[in-house]
Structure 1
Amino acid sequence: MRNNAKESVEKKALIDVSKYKVDGSPGKGNWAEIPWIGVFDKNITTSAEKGYYIVYLFRADMSGFYLSLNQGWTYYARTYGDKEAREHIRTVAAGFKDSLKSSLADFSFDEIDLKSDKKFAVGYQLGHICGKFYSKEYVPDDLQLANDLRNLIGVYRELTGIVGSRSFEDIVDRLLKGDDVDDIEDEEYQSEVIEATPSITPKEPQKRSKSTIKHGKEVWIRNPKIAKESLEKSNYLCEIDSEHKTFTSSITDDNFVEAHHLIPMGNQDEFKNSLDVPGNIVSLCPNCHRRLHHASVAEKEDSIKALYVERKDDLKDYGIEISLEDLFGYYK
């Protein structure tokens, strides 16, 4: 392992060394408690101390090893102290797990057990996002190991795409404040909406927008100009309760509201006409918007019903027909 593990991983898994750094630490002189070999996206991190990366982790008793998408424990320990770091790294790992949309049939979200209670072993265990265990009695051949690594690199790329241009410090801070990754992405869209010039959309069925592949799944593109058109038509009032005042936006000089697709864009495949139309985009205060995304079904049913009754005719004008029961189904 000391002599050729790095080169072996690079060669057998066909690692692009211009993009990824492969490094390891069996320990200097004596073996480390938890020997590791890491694969680091150079745009994210080149160190096991901070960021997120792929790592082979060997159990302390050498009974097996893990292929793990993991995080740098040292950053958490230095930033928060060991006690809080344990809670925080676990919280961020859970947030990353929830954000992954691709099929992970080959990998597990289960906790890992490195057979050690030492600080770094515990840090690795808490920072684990997803991965795979190999018992020393059943280590697969090099081809299977290489395929597993390449597949996990695909998941690594997905997570990198989800995090986007945000720094690791920022994404950690936001997840610890209770935001989820989808909320953070939606904030970027809302910023684009506020700054957009409103479109003028004929009240008739519209062609579906283009789709793209993002985070390993098909995503339908939302046009912020159409959302801005809908916000203006609502006079920047919350359509669940017009008395819900927030603050005056420095850009629009009106009450701050957010755009929400009543029928989620993720269901565009089920409709022949575009869902990205003013008739399907409602204006909500941030609190009502979060409630529709995160509250229990019972808590948001009345709001969904009220919006449906208000928008049912508009939806038909845009060639969109849906029952209230089916709409409820999208929010479960």
Structure 2
Amino acid sequence: MQLRECIERVLTTYLTAAKDDLKEHPTAKFLRKDFRDAVASASGDHGRLIFKASAGQGRWVKGPWVGIFDQLVTTSAQSGYYPVYLFREDMQGVYLSLNQGMTEAKKNYKADAKTALRARAANFRAMLGAQINLFPDLVIDLAPTAPSNDTAFYEAGNICAKFYPINQLPPEAQLIGDLSSMLLLYQAILEGEVISDSNNASEGDEPVDLHYEDGTKFRFHKRIERNVRLSKDVKKLQGYVCKVCNTNFEKKYGALGKGYIEAHHLKPIAALKGTKVAMNPLNDFTVLCSNCHRMVHRSGCLEDIEKFKAEHYHG
């Protein structure tokens, strides 16, 4: 199904559907699967991207959405930042918005959540500069019927956006082109954050001969390893014994060390760019104790643990 068809269907049917029971409703199912899959298909080669949509849980949301999440940033609409299709409450149009997780902001900033979201949005815009020109809507109107509605917080969280009114939906090719451009902005923010990290004090484990671009990729590498969801999957599949020195923290420290190990990403640094980063927890990672993990990073043998053992590990 095409994006234009999906958008038009939601705009013309949602208000009527929201008068019925949400459970098993065909409009809710359409959003969560068909619309979500159409966005995934239009996004091309996803790599790290995952796609989710919501019409509500238990009751209909005032403004449904379909979001795109880079797993190095977030895996849900609750935190981080992400591109998202946001529908106005009155269904007079939809925004393609680069937005932020409001649940995280509410938890951290309480009554000042909207202020914090607006401030962070301004920082993101400064980071992107002229790249946001294709998405001119810095202020969006989701027609919230109450200031406590989710739509009101999404208004505050908007970084940049483009509006598609119900009576002027663009052709499919333009919708896909806009989505591709939005995904480039998304990637630019992530890369900008990694570059900012590279300007901070060194943690002491970077190979000393890294050039600037490789240094940036190196920090992508470390960000992948720190992905909580991935790390849990890696440990569950590969166990908790270091693949270099055979350290088992539970044997050494008892209950304190139970379930402790670190996940190490094996993808070569040269490949850590764009959205095509392999993240298979069984094939693209190994598990290491804290000491071996840091020494692997320091050695530069990120992708070849056997080489590291042969050249650097002396038991």
The correspondence of residues 139-288 of structure 1 with structure 2, limited to 5 A, is 139-164=169-194, 185=196, 188-189=198-199, 191=201
SS at match of 2:129: coil
| TM-score, L = length of structure 1 | 0.49
Alpha-carbon distance change, 164 to 211 in structure 1, aligned in 2, over 3 angstroms? closer
SS at match of 1:32: strand
Q: RCO greater where, 1 or 2, for CA within 8 Å and sep 6 or more?
A: 2
Q: Distance in 1 between matches of 2:177 and 2:160?
A: 16
Map of 2:96 onto structure 1: 67
Alpha-carbon distance change, 188 to 26 in structure 1, aligned in 2, over 3 angstroms? same
Q: Is the 8 A contact 1:9 1:15 kept in 2?
A: no
Which of 43, 58, 82 pairs up with 1:13? 43
CA-CA distance at 1:77 after TM superposition: 0.5
Listed as ranges, the gaps of 5+ residues in structure 2 are 1-9, 11-28, 205-210, 217-315
Q: Distance in 1 between matches of 2:193 and 2:158?
A: 17
- Deviating beyond 3 angstroms after TM superposition, the runs of 4 or more aligned structure 1 residues are 28-31, 187-192, 210-215
Alpha-carbon distance change, 214 to 71 in structure 1, aligned in 2, over 3 angstroms? farther
Alpha-carbon distance change, 25 to 101 in structure 1, aligned in 2, over 3 angstroms? same
Higher helix share: 2
SS at match of 1:103: helix
Summarize deviations over 1:175-208 as a string: whole Å, max 9, x none. xxxxxxxxxx3x854636x9xxxxxxxxxxxxxx
Map of 1:54 onto structure 2: 83
Q: Distance in 2 between matches of 1:93 and 1:213?
A: 28
Higher Rg = 1
Alpha-carbon distance change, 214 to 110 in structure 1, aligned in 2, over 3 angstroms? farther
Identity of aligned residues (%): 32
Which of 125, 132, 137 pairs up with 2:162? 132
Listed as ranges, the gaps of 5+ residues in structure 1 are 166-184, 195-209, 216-332
Which of 62, 86, 99 pairs up with 1:33? 62
Aligned residues: 179
Q: Is the 8 A contact 2:198 2:215 kept in 1?
A: no
Q: CA RMSD in A?
A: 2.9
The correspondence of residues 281-300 of structure 1 with structure 2, limited to 5 A, is none
Summarize deviations over 1:218-252 as a string: whole Å, max 9, x none. xxxxxxxxxxxxxxxxxxxxxxxxxxxxxxxxxxx
SS at match of 2:185: helix
Map of 1:115 onto structure 2: 143
Which of 97, 105, 111 pairs up with 1:76? 105
